[in-house]
Structure 1
């Protein structure tokens, strides 16, 4: 029984070693290197996307803080339009040419 156990353990270790060696050899081939580069680029793209989302969220939060600060200090709400109509200008309000 002991011999059978050690035989099976040796066979399992051999299979494990052969599979690991095959994986290492595959990583050294051009296809394996391409897979590694592709995986790295996908990871980098995901990290850049996350970074961009965090930057946008931070910008939005800061913009809200600034708007609240302006409204608190001046009483003016940025981004809201006045209900009063804009003053009308006559035809004489146009810019004149420098030469004439």
Structure 2
């Protein structure tokens, strides 16, 4: 019974090792490299989209604070733009705009 256990364990370890080696070898084939590069490209696109979205949001906040764009009634009602928040935004342009912080 103990021999059967060790044989089964050895077979399972062998199958696991062969699959791992196969995956590693596949990663270095032209198709595997292309797949890895496409995944990397998708990640870069997602990062660029997130950065653009943050830049646009920050630009909108600064434009409202500087008075370049006028705020809508919705902005005033929601408390997004009040004079104190605009001053804080101008004093600390690298910080996040939060009209609730005092």
Common fold by TM > 0.5: yes
> Structure 2 CA distance, aligned partners of 1:42 and 1:13?
35
Higher relative contact order (CA 8 A, sep 6+): 2
> Structure 2 CA distance, aligned partners of 1:63 and 1:5?
72
Length-normalised TM-score, structure 2: 0.63
Question: What are structure 1's unaligned runs of at least 5 residues?
Answer: 73-100
> Structure 2 CA distance, aligned partners of 1:17 and 1:36?
22
Alignment size in residue pairs:
70
State whether structure 2 residue 51 is matched by structure 1 residue 51: yes
- Which of structure 1's runs of 4+ aligned residues deviate more than 2 A? none
Structure with the greater alpha carbon radius of gyration? 1
Question: What are structure 2's unaligned runs of at least 5 residues?
Answer: 71-82, 84-102
RMSD, aligned α-carbons: 1.9
